[in-house]
A and B are shown apart, each in its own frame.
Chain A
Amino acid sequence: MNALKKLFGGNTRQFGMIFALVALIVFFQIFTEGRTLTPGNVINLFNGNSYILILAIGMVLVIIAGHIDLSVGSVAAFVGVFVALAMRDWGFPWWAGVLFGLVLGAVIGAWQGFWVAYVGIPAFIVTLAGMLLFRGFNQFVGKSNTIPVPKEFQFLGSGYLPEIGPDTGFNNLTLLLGLIAVAFVIIMSLRARATNKALGADVPELWVEVTKLVLICGAILYATYLFATGRPGTSFPIPGLILAVLVLIYGFIADKTVLGRHVYAVGGNRHAAELSGVQSKKVNFLVMMNMSVLAGLAGMIFVGRSTASGPFDGVGWELDAIAAVFIGGAAVTGGVGTVIGSIVGGLVMAVLNNGLQLLGVGADLTQIIKGLVLLAAVAFDVYNKSQGKRSITGLLMKNFQRNNEIKPDETTSTKEVISKEA
Chain B
Amino acid sequence: MTSLDTQGDPILLEMRSITKEFPGVKALSNVSLRVMAGEIHAICGENGAGKSTLMKVLSGVYGYGSYTGDIVYQAETQQFKDIRASEAAGIVIIHQELALIPELSIMENIFLGNEPTKWGVIDWAEARKRSLELLARVGLREDPDTPIKEIGVGKQQLVEIAKALNKSVRLLILDEPTAALNESDSQHLLDLILGLKGKGITSIIISHKLNEIEQIADEITIIRDGKSIETLNVKRDGVDEDRIIKGMVGRTLESRFPDHEPKIGEVFFEVKDWTVGHPQIQDRLICKGSNFYVRRGEIVGFAGLMGAGRTELARSLFGHSYGRFIKGQVYKDGKQVNLRSVKAAIDAGLGYVTEDRKSLGLNLLDDIKTTTVSAALNKISNYSVVDTRKEFSVAEEYRKSLRTKTPSVEEGVAKLSGGNQQKVVLAKWMFTDPDLLILDEPTRGIDVGAKYEIYGIIQRLANQGKGVIVISSELPELLGLSDRIYTIFEGAITGVLDKNEASQESLMKLMTSARKTA
Q: Is the interface of A mostly helix, strand, loop or mixed?
A: helix
B22 touches A405 (CB 8 A): yes
Closest-by-CB residue of A relative to B412 is: A390
The contact of A409 among B365, B386, B412, B445, by CB within 8 Å, is B445
A151 proximal to B (CB < 8 A): no
A143 proximal to B (CB < 8 A): no
A408 touches B363 (CB 8 A): no
Interface residues of B in 333-366 (CB under 8 A from A): 341-343, 345-346, 352, 354, 358-366
B66 touches A411 (CB 8 A): no
Closest-by-CB residue of A relative to B445 is: A409
Separation of A97 and B96 alpha carbons in the complex (Å): 62
A275 and B392 in contact, given A390-B414, A402-B62, A415-B97 (Cβ under 8 angstroms): no
Closest-by-CB residue of B relative to A404 is: B23
A261 and B370 in contact, given A277-B342, A390-B414, A409-B48 (Cβ under 8 angstroms): yes
A397 proximal to B (CB < 8 A): no
Q: Return chain B residues, CB-CB under 8 Å to A420.
A: 358-359
B428 proximal to A (CB < 8 A): yes
B3 proximal to A (CB < 8 A): no
Q: Return chain B residues, CB-CB under 8 Å to A417.
A: 358, 364
A275 touches B22 (CB 8 A): no
Q: Return chain B residues, CB-CB under 8 Å to A390.
A: 364-365, 412, 414-415
Separation of A257 and B364 alpha carbons in the complex (Å): 20
Contact residue range for chain A?
35 or more
Measured CB to CB, the closest approach of chain A to B99, in angstroms, equals: 10
Q: Return chain B residues, CB-CB under 8 Å to A412.
A: 96-97
Measured CB to CB, the closest approach of chain B to A262, in angstroms, equals: 8
A310 proximal to B (CB < 8 A): no
The contact of B359 among A262, A277, A407, A416, by CB within 8 Å, is A416
Interface residues of A in 363-413 (CB under 8 A from B): 388, 390-392, 395, 402-413
The segment from B252-260, B372-380, B479-487 found at the interface with A is B372-380
B121 proximal to A (CB < 8 A): no
A402 touches B342 (CB 8 A): no
Please encode chain A, from 157 to 201, with 1 for each CB lying within 8 Å of some chain B CB and 0 for all others.
000000000000000000000000000000000000001001111
A259 proximal to B (CB < 8 A): yes
Separation of A131 and B411 alpha carbons in the complex (Å): 41
B182 proximal to A (CB < 8 A): no
B53 proximal to A (CB < 8 A): yes
B53 touches A408 (CB 8 A): yes
Q: Return chain B residues, CB-CB under 8 Å to A276.
A: 342, 374-375, 428
B366 touches A274 (CB 8 A): no
A279 proximal to B (CB < 8 A): yes
Q: Return chain B residues, CB-CB under 8 Å to A198.
A: 389
Measured CB to CB, the closest approach of chain B to A287, in angstroms, equals: 16
- Using a Cβ–Cβ cut-off of 8 Å, how many residues does chain B contribute to the interface with A? 59
Interface residues of B in 388-404 (CB under 8 A from A): 388-389, 392-393, 396
Q: Return chain B residues, CB-CB under 8 Å to A277.
A: 319, 341-343, 345-346, 375
A201 and B392 in contact, given A269-B362, A420-B359 (Cβ under 8 angstroms): yes
A275 touches B384 (CB 8 A): no
A407 touches B386 (CB 8 A): no
Separation of A200 and B245 alpha carbons in the complex (Å): 44
A407 touches B22 (CB 8 A): yes
A299 proximal to B (CB < 8 A): no
B389 touches A199 (CB 8 A): yes
B56 touches A411 (CB 8 A): yes
A413 and B358 in contact, given A199-B393, A408-B22 (Cβ under 8 angstroms): yes
Q: Return chain B residues, CB-CB under 8 Å to A269.
A: 359-360, 362-365
B418 proximal to A (CB < 8 A): yes
Measured CB to CB, the closest approach of chain B to A150, in angstroms, equals: 39
Closest-by-CB residue of A relative to B315 is: A275
A408 and B48 in contact, given A276-B428, A416-B358 (Cβ under 8 angstroms): yes
Q: Return chain B residues, CB-CB under 8 Å to A410.
A: 417-418
A407 touches B417 (CB 8 A): yes
A258 proximal to B (CB < 8 A): yes
A272 proximal to B (CB < 8 A): yes
B63 proximal to A (CB < 8 A): yes
The contact of A391 among B360, B362, B365, B392, by CB within 8 Å, is B365
Interchain Cβ contacts under 8 Å between A and B, 12 examples:
A199-B393, A259-B384, A261-B386, A262-B377, A269-B360, A274-B321, A390-B364, A407-B25, A410-B417, A411-B52, A411-B53, A413-B414
Which positions in B face A, CB cutoff 8 Å?
Answer: 22-23, 25, 27, 47-48, 50, 52-53, 56, 61-63, 66, 96-97, 318-319, 321, 341-343, 345-346, 352, 354, 358-366, 370, 374-375, 377-378, 381, 384-386, 388-389, 392-393, 396, 408, 410, 412, 414-415, 417-418, 428, 445, 447
| 12 other A-B residue contacts (CB within 8 Å) besides A272-B354, A413-B414 | A198-B389, A201-B410, A256-B388, A261-B377, A269-B365, A276-B342, A277-B346, A405-B22, A406-B415, A408-B48, A410-B418, A411-B52
List the 6 shortest-distance A-B pairs measured between CB atoms, nearest first.
A268-B363, A408-B27, A409-B48, A276-B375, A269-B363, A268-B365
